[in-house]
């Protein structure tokens, strides 16, 4: 029995996820689309469990697992095999550790693999191609647990219940109580676990903390059912109104879209209520669709809506790796369009042809009927070829990306330099006071006068600077470099103030920060400008990201920095954001941000810094 208007729920969840991935800086909370899917899955699975028990007085666990296997696994294998050959279009870094990614995806452990490796949608320049399968892992864990719960409950109730008419209410009560307890426990775990976190991936990915939408949906499935609704639910449906149900569906949809704009992945509020509100709105939408189904017996769903609902799972599987690849080959809107079209075509192939044929059922394509006997040879040949390509890519894949290797090596050299600098500081601290005492002079003050500032250049940067640190240090005269990955403006401020406090901050201060710009970029930048001590000259290097749009924080930071020299004469702009955009060749095969290891990029970066330093010689100090 197909419930009309449930298609709208599934399409809503898919649209939220796609908008989030394609336009992440505008639709910052679209990740709640996953929670819509979770709640719907929990509802549908549990309602079908109730119906099966009401019809047969039993629940067959192996049949349940077999149905889940044929629905989930074949499209997942197909997505992996078809995506891997496309990785030849992009740099080798995109398949770093791809074997472990594939194993985690096919083993339904991606969520814990991402937790263990520090993976996050939010902070990777080259994200894992199959990071999105974390949701499949959580879903599969739910199916395994909830299937065992239903099976155990069915057996226990059959054994203890003598009157058949009492069995179904008791089975319902058993599932309902457990669903409420598990939903409450999971949300409580997320609420408590989110405390004190700056990266929320741990509570977002975990099956323990992020399974409550399934159980909220399960509770609704227990209460409503499909063929065996509760008397109370029958009464509500009998007195329901299609206009009221339609209004509730619309309002819940508007609420979900609004959350898509308001919520953010890195906000505590998201995990202490935001995801729960999204789940409850999804539940309201499901409930409304269930009523609307009964109230519109003569109204058919639009065919394209049911089509999108049918292929939504496979589109989810295909879209992310395709988008990661295409977004590094073309403009974002082009990548989004191509990803959407290709994902739908591949998903239709999977859902309407390959999945039924693999399950031993005939596939109906327009007026033709296809079966395994007809498609056996091409499926086996193409499948073996794709397996061979995948095996080759896995075997040839690097364990560390070139970016990771470059940053790791640069970090080692920086640590060595810091040890040497600390040694020199300690030596100076013991000799200078003695020399002053011999001459009968007091020890120098903690902060030198503007004319006594250390000569040279202090460069404070992020991972882009760290990647070119060795070359930069050799080609920017008398420079000291402190760079670190994922460094934001507030962290750069702390480094600057620490050097300033210890009289290590040199006359020229170059701040190469911005790729990781947060929402408070303007406040943090002005704090750095205002708290820089007198006597210094400040050079701000604008950030560059080939993927960044006009609404990205990094782009806005660059725009802000370009306005500052008009007000603050001691500030000079090193316009990396402008110059780098004119030289796409230095980012060929990279993530569009880092160029470490490409000599032309090192040369250009150092040139921009040196040109800004030359210009700063003709400006006044603060």
CA–CA distance, 133 with 360 (Å, rounded to integer): 26
Residue with the two structure tokens 């796409």:
584
DSSP character at residue 502: T
Torsion, CA 239, CA 244, CA 245, CA 247, rounded to 10:
-170
The residues, ordered by sequence, that sit 6+ positions from 24 with a Cβ below 8 Å of its Cβ are: 30, 121
More confident residue, 279 or 443: 279
CA–CA distance, 73 with 470 (Å, rounded to integer): 48
What is the DSSP pairing of strand 537-541 with strand 571-574? parallel
Report pLDDT for 279.
97
CATH 3.40.50.1110 residue ranges in the chain? Answer: 402-616
3-state secondary structure of 472: helix
Question: Could you tell me the pTM of the whole model?
Answer: 0.82
Over residues 200-228, the mean pLDDT reads 92
488 φψ region: left (φ > 0), alpha (ψ -120 to 50), beta (else): beta
Q: What are phi and psi of 461, to 5 degrees?
A: -140, 180
CA–CA distance, 172 with 169 (Å, rounded to integer): 5
Report pLDDT for 124.
57
The alpha-helical segments, DSSP class H, found in 296-329 are 303-326
C-alpha distance from residue 506 to each of 458, 533, 553 (Å): 5, 11, 29
Residue with the two structure tokens 């640590």:
415
Report pLDDT for 421.
59
3-state secondary structure of 537: strand
Report pLDDT for 432.
53
As given in the structure block, the two tokens for residue 192 are 């408590």
Say how many Å lie between the first and final Cα of the chain, rounded.
Answer: 75
List pLDDT tens digits, range 172-211.
999 999 999 999 999 999 999 999 888 899 999 999 999 9
Architecture of domain 402-616: 3-Layer(aba) Sandwich (3.40)
Mean pLDDT value across the chain: 88
Q: Among 152-161, 162-171, 363-372, 581-590, which range has the highest average pLDDT?
A: 152-161
| Number of Cβ atoms within 10 Å of the Cβ of 540 | 29
Report pLDDT for 365.
80
More confident residue, 225 or 570: 570
The residues, ordered by sequence, that sit 6+ positions from 588 with a Cβ below 8 Å of its Cβ are: 598
C-alpha distance from residue 382 to each of 32, 38, 370 (Å): 36, 33, 17
Q: Are 164 and 57 in contact (CB under 8 A)?
A: yes
Q: How confident is the model at residue 596 (pLDDT cuts 50, 70, 90)?
A: low
Report pLDDT for 361.
85
Report pLDDT for 121.
45
The alpha-helical segments, DSSP class H, found in 350-467 are 355-358, 372-396, 402-438, 463-467
Over residues 73-101, the mean pLDDT reads 90
Report pLDDT for 123.
42
Q: Are 510 and 541 in contact (CB under 8 A)?
A: yes
Q: Is the pLDDT of residue 588 over 70?
A: yes
As given in the structure block, the two tokens for residue 280 are 């409850």
List pLDDT tens digits, range 373-431.
888 888 889 989 999 999 999 999 888 776 667 666 766 767 666 666 555 556 655 65
List pLDDT tens digits, range 474-485.
999 999 999 988
Report pLDDT for 431.
57
Q: How far is CA 202 from the centre of its chain?
A: 12
Listed residue (358, 317, 352) closest to 139, CA to CA: 317
């Amino acid at each position: 029995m197909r419930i009309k208007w449930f298609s709208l729920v599934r399409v809503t969840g898919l649209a939220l996820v796609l908008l989030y991935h394609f336009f992440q800086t505008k639709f910052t909370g679209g990740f709640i689309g996953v929670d819509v899917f979770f709640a719907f899955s929990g509802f549908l699975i549990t309602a079908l469990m109730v119906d099966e028990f009401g019809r047969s007085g039993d629940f067959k666990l192996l049949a349940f697992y077999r149905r889940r296997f044929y629905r989930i696994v074949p499209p997942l294998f197909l997505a992996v095999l078809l995506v891997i050959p496309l990785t030849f279009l992009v740099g080798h870094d995109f398949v770093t550790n791809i074997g472990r990614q594939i194993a985690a995806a096919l083993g339904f452990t991606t969520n814990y693999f991402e937790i263990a490796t520090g993976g996050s949608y939010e902070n990777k320049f080259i994200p894992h191609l199959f990071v999105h399968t974390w949701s499949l892992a959580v879903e599969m864990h739910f199916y395994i647990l909830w299937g065992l719960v239903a099976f155990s409950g069915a057996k226990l109730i059959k054994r203890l219940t003598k009157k058949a008419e009492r069995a179904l209410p008791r089975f319902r009560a058993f599932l309902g109580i457990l669903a409420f307890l598990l939903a409450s426990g999971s949300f409580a775990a997320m609420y408590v676990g989110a405390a004190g976190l700056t990266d929320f991936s741990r509570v977002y990915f975990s099956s323990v903390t992020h399974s409550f939408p399934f159980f909220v949906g399960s509770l609704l499935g227990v209460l409503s059912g499909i063929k065996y609704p509760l008397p109370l639910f029958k009464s509500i449906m009998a007195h329901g109104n299609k206009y009221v149900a339609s209004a509730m569906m619309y309002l819940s949809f508007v609420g979900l879209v609004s959350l898509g704009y308001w919520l953010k992945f890195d906000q505590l509020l998201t995990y202490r209520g935001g995801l729960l509100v999204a789940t409850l709105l999804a539940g309201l939408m499901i409930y409304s669709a269930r009523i609307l189904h009964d109230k519109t017996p003569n109204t058919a769903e639009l065919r394209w809506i049911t089509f999108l609902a049918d292929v939504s799972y496979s589109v989810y599987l295909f879209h992310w790796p395709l988008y990661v690849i295409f977004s590094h080959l073309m403009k974002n809107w082009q990548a989004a369009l191509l990803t959407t079209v290709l994902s739908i075509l591949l998903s239709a192939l999977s859902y309407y042809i390959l999945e039924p044929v693999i399950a031993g059922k005939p596939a109906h394509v327009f007026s033709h009927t296809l079966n395994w006997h007809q498609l056996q040879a091409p499926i086996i040949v193409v499948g073996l070829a794709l397996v061979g390509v995948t095996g080759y890519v896995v075997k040839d894949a690097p364990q560390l990306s070139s970016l990771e290797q470059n940053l790791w090596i640069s970090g080692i050299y920086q640590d060595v330099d810091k040890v040497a600098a600390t040694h020199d500081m300690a030596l100076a601290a013991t000799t200078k006071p003695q020399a002053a005492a011999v001459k009968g002079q007091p020890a120098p003050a903690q902060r030198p006068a503007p004319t006594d500032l250390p000569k040279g250049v202090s460069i404070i940067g992020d991972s882009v600077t760290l990647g070119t640190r060795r070359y930069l240090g050799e080609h920017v005269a008398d420079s000291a470099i402190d760079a670190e990955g994922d460094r934001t403006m507030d962290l750069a401020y702390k480094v600057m103030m620490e050097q300033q406090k210890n009289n290590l901050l040199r006359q020229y201060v170059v701040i190469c920060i911005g790729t990781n710009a947060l929402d408070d970029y303007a406040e943090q930048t002005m704090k750095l400008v205002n708290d820089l001590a007198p006597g210094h000259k400040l050079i701000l290097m604008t950030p560059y990201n080939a993927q960044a749009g006009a609404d990205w924080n990094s782009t806005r930071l660059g725009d802000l920095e370009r306005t500052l020299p008009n007000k603050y004469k001691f500030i000079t702009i090193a316009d990396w954001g402008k110059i780098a955009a004119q030289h796409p060749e230095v980012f060929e095969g990279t993530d569009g941000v880092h160029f470490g290891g490409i000599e032309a990029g090192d040369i250009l970066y150092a040139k921009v810094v040196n040109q800004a330093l030359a210009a700063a010689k003709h400006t006044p100090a603060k």
